[in-house]
Amino acid sequence: MSDRKIQSALISVFYKDGLEPIVRKLHELGVTLISTGGTETFIRSLNIPVTSVEALTGFPEILGGRVKTLQPKIFGGILGIRSLAEHQSQMREHDIPGIDLVIVDLYPFEETLASTDSEEEIIEKIDIGGVSLIRAAAKNFNDVLVCASRQDYASLLSLLSDKQGVTGYADRKLFAARAFNQTSHYDTAIFNYFNRDRQVSAFKQSIMQSRSLRYGENPHQQGIFYGDFNSLFSQLHGKEISYNNLVDIDAAVRLIDEFENPACAVIKHTNACGCAEADNVAGAWQRALAGDPVSAFGGIVVFNRKVDASAAARINEIFFEVIIAPGYDEEALAILRQKKNRIILTRNAKPETRNVFKSVLNGVIEQDADTKLGDAEKWKVVTNVAPTAAQAADLLFAEKCVKHLKSNAIVLVKNRQLIGMGCGQTSRIDALKQAVNKAKSFGFDLSGSVLASDAFFPFHDSVQLANEAGVKAILQPGGSVRDQDSIDACNQFAIAMVFTGIRHFLH
């Protein structure tokens, strides 16, 4: 566990940016440099002496560059244990020089995967030698320092400068951990590419970016977010984003992305307490807020259109934690920034979520994301009366809302406005009662409204309660053994009912 003086370094990297100051520092420290290919050419361009891998090994690069550093003289120099006499004797016997520093990165597999569908190009970006060199150096961290990413160049340069080419045990172990982080992430990306059809049953995910949070769901819980938040959002104002903010932001954007017309939603504890479409942003805000102005306090507001000053002035009248939109007028931003802690986010991109997973018991469950919605042309009208065109539009809107509420969930909609919702209930009729009572408590006239249920809506009593409230059309997935009970009740009350065949449980 003693200090080690760097006397020789192997450098072979794909990305050269940021490398020059390190190379110059190593040269200044009298370190022998070994390299190959483009990196060797780069070092020579700096007028710094470098030994080629080919000269060291006596073997040329072959197979179009697929085999360059996979040689006993290279790996022996990295893996040889300095304190083991047998290793040192064999290294002398075979003229294998020790290598004390390995600076190697990996072919850009993920970048290639994102830029092309060509399997040939993708496969060629699976690094073999680089991974092997990194793992070898990291394994022998007692004697060797490894730097496996340009993200670590600054740390490496500081270490070289501060300690004049001497490394401590803790330094080498930290860089080894970072190196294994790189190789494990790289292998996970490759595995997931080959396993897109899920023929191999294994759960492997790797996210390199992270940010520490003030705390988790509650102050006594530690919280960390793994992901690249800044690729999706730019924060223009406000306090640090919390664990609960992130959960609600996720719910907010997934709901608002369902809508094409100007829309606004107000989110509280991942559920929409207000949601509406309108001809403009200000109108959408007013209609969404009206759905439940009490619950909106302290919530998250999300739009799918740019926020103007007129809307911002109205929004600014109440307290909320986060506002999300594609953009803001300068005057709107000035208004919204009047609250010091208010988090203002613009969207840079939409999250691409194909799979959803969560920890349960001693493992993880994974599923496809719920991206489906019913198609009005494929609805099964099961009652004597069919929905009118206006009712059908409201039913489509209602399904988008109910899909994003915790089950059991019921929504009441009128003129593309969420006017009542019940969610997280243990029985469907309780969810319906909650939705009706909420709508009435805020003065909504339910006559002519429509209802959407996230799952089966099979019993006569639920239809009867909906009828008493004024509901005239119902959307549900269908498929219950008691479907006929609700169909008969709808016919009795002249209510239209459609089956979508798509359930939207959300837990």
Residues marked active site are found at 139, 269
- Cβ-based neighbours of 89, under 8 Å, separated by 6 or more: none
Q: How far apart are the C-alpha atoms of 167 and 161, rounded to whole Å?
A: 11
Q: What is the 3-state secondary structure (H, E, C) of 229-258?
A: HHHHEEEEECCCCCHHHHHHHHHHHHHHCC
Pairing of β 471-476 and β 496-499:
parallel
Q: How far apart are the C-alpha atoms of 317 and 308, rounded to whole Å?
A: 15
Tokens (6 digits) for 308: 């103007």
Is the Cβ–Cβ distance between 22 and 157 less than 8 Å? yes
**Burial class for 67, CB neighbours closer than 10 Å (0-12, 13-18, 19+):** middle
Count of C-beta atoms within a 10 Å radius of residue 157: 18
**Burial class for 426, CB neighbours closer than 10 Å (0-12, 13-18, 19+):** exposed
Omega before 408 cis (within 30°)?
Answer: yes
In terms of phi and psi (left: phi > 0; alpha: psi -120 to 50; beta: otherwise), the region of 443 is left
Q: Where does 425-482 have alpha helices with state H?
A: 428-441, 460-469
| Rg of the Cα atoms in the chain | 31
- Tokens 């007129």 sit at which residue? 310
Q: How far apart are the C-alpha atoms of 416 and 414, rounded to whole Å?
A: 6
Q: How far apart are the C-alpha atoms of 230 and 349, rounded to whole Å?
A: 10
Q: How far apart are the C-alpha atoms of 22 and 18, rounded to whole Å?
A: 8
Three-state DSSP state, 173: helix
- Tokens 């040329």 sit at which residue? 60
Three-state DSSP state, 306: coil
Q: How far apart are the C-alpha atoms of 386 and 239, rounded to whole Å?
A: 50
Q: Based on DSSP, count helices (H) and strands (E) in the chain, helices before strands.
A: 19, 23
